[in-house]
Amino acid sequence: DLPEFHMPETCPECGSQVERTEGEAVARCTGALICPAQIKHGIRHFATRKAMDIEGLGDKIVDQLVEQGLVHTVADLYHLSFEQIASLERMGGKSAQNLLDALEASKKPALDRLLYALGIREVGEVTAHSLALHFGSMQALAASSEEDLVEVSDVGPVVAGHVAAFFQQEKNRHVAGGAPQAMRWSKQYGASARRIAALLAPPQPMIGRSVTWATSRTHFRPMGSTPLPDMPPEPLLSTG
């Protein structure tokens, strides 16, 4: 007979407490940003094509960066030197420079991509886009309450709770603030995008209603695309 399984009370990787949310089957380490296994997973997600798209930051490189104490959070990636990267196993000078170039190229993401890259629980690409469209800046999102969050399309009470809890933790706000500069979606862009979203919504009865429509050039771009040349993005987050 197999021995009876007992869920460990502490994480085997970092020693942090293990907790299970009532009603959920999954037990999770509470170590978050100090747990090596979670740090590695978070950095890998951060570098994926749909997130920050950092080419050359593969699993083996991530493992070495974390295990050698060179990277503790995703923000640390942007403080790596050529010498530190070149000293890693299987990393020559050309590969090290290519990775530095990829990191530099990722320093100005669209806000929705950065939100997705941070790995906030239950926040996928669609939800990240909705949050960016609604709040327009990282500061506004970080300051929002759960009541504010549930007003966003695609965000229910559970997701709102996860997002609010993420930004309530000082260490997460520090990481978000140390990540690369995000593009502020200006109030003009946000309003234009919301108008377009309204146009794409199912038609509503207009009988008995009068409408006055004034329009100007509208700026709209899909998630992760390059801002239009005549609408330069404003820096939001500082890399220090």
CB distance 124 to 151 below 8 Å: no
Q: Output the CA torsion sign for 158, 164, 170, 172.
A: positive
Residues 89, 105: Cα–Cα separation, whole Å? 24
CB distance 45 to 51 below 8 Å: yes
Average predicted confidence (pLDDT) for the chain = 79
Give the residue from 129, 217, 216, 127 showing the smallest Cα distance to 163: 127
CB distance 238 to 177 below 8 Å: yes
Residues 143-160 pLDDT 10s: 999 999 999 988 999 999
Tokens 């890399």, located at residue: 239
pTM over 0.75: no
68 vs 206, higher pLDDT: 68
Examine the pLDDT at 138 and tell me if it is beyond 70.
Answer: yes
Residues 219-236 pLDDT 10s: 444 444 444 444 334 333
Neighbour-count burial of 78, counting CB atoms closer than 10 A to its CB (0-12 exposed, 13-18 middle, 19+ buried): middle
Residues 55-89 pLDDT 10s: 999 999 999 999 999 998 898 999 999 999 999 99
Residues 51, 61: Cα–Cα separation, whole Å? 18
Q: In the chain, where does DSSP find H-type helix?
A: 36-47, 59-67, 82-86, 93-105, 111-117, 125-135, 138-142, 146-149, 157-168, 170-178, 187-200
Q: Are strands 27-29 and 183-184 parallel, antiparallel or unpaired?
A: unpaired
Tell me the helices (H) and strands (E) count for the chain, helix number first.
11, 4
CB distance 131 to 141 below 8 Å: yes
Residues 225, 165: Cα–Cα separation, whole Å? 29
Give the residue from 95, 38, 27 showing the smallest Cα distance to 61: 95
Q: Are strands 183-184 and 18-20 parallel, antiparallel or unpaired?
A: unpaired
CB distance 108 to 130 below 8 Å: no
